[in-house]
Chains A and B, each alone.
Chain A
């Protein structure tokens, strides 16, 4: 079975631009979560969606937004990019989202110049 897939794998943007990252969950999983991981740190929670509804939001500015589609895939959008947004963006899926393990894709490496 296919795991969580994310696209693109790498992306280079300049300050002020906008970016959209995409995620396809494991088949049968209805919950998708997004994380930001800076080198040497653990992932930081950004959003969780379940059945197309936002279930949770981490401590990130309004420049970050996301949505989940009827097929349970998801997009993360970041506007007005800052140098500090450079990170690995991880997507994870789970069957329901509470108390169940999340399974991760290999992420999108975003570099801001």
Chain B
């Protein structure tokens, strides 16, 4: 069964304290792994797409990496405005996205 698991469920960091979020997946025929950011009361905002093991993408303080079994979202020197829920999703042989439950990130000033 296709499955996505994110850890930790919640993460509290001080401003400037770097860390990583994990997304583990089991899926047959990966078509893409997607990272999104979701603010309260809003829809998910697209961040990155990764297609193959070894691929990396960067945007400002965020860097996403991919292996055959998991993806990491690294956050370097985060700021309070980086506080949000970060969601990971995979697309397999069919067309639907399978989502993790998300990691709620809180950055304290």
Chain B residues, Cβ within 8 Å of A102 = 34, 46, 97
B contact residues, range: 20 to 34
Taking a contact as CB atoms under 8 Å apart, the answer to whether B96 and A43 are in contact is: no
Q: How far is the CA of A33 from the CA of B91 in the complex (A)?
A: 13
Interface size on A, residues (CB 8 A): 27
Report the tally of A-B residue pairs with Cβ distances under 8 A: 63
Taken together as a complex, chains A and B put the C-alpha atoms of A99 and B91 apart, in Å, by 7
Q: Does A45 contact B97, Cβ atoms closer than 8 Å?
A: yes
B interface, CB within 8 angstroms of A = 4, 31-32, 34, 36, 41-46, 49, 51, 87, 89, 91, 94-102
- Is A90 touching B95 in the complex (CB atoms < 8 A)? no
What 1/0 flags go to A70-113 for Cβ under 8 Å of B?
00000000000000000000101000011111111111000000
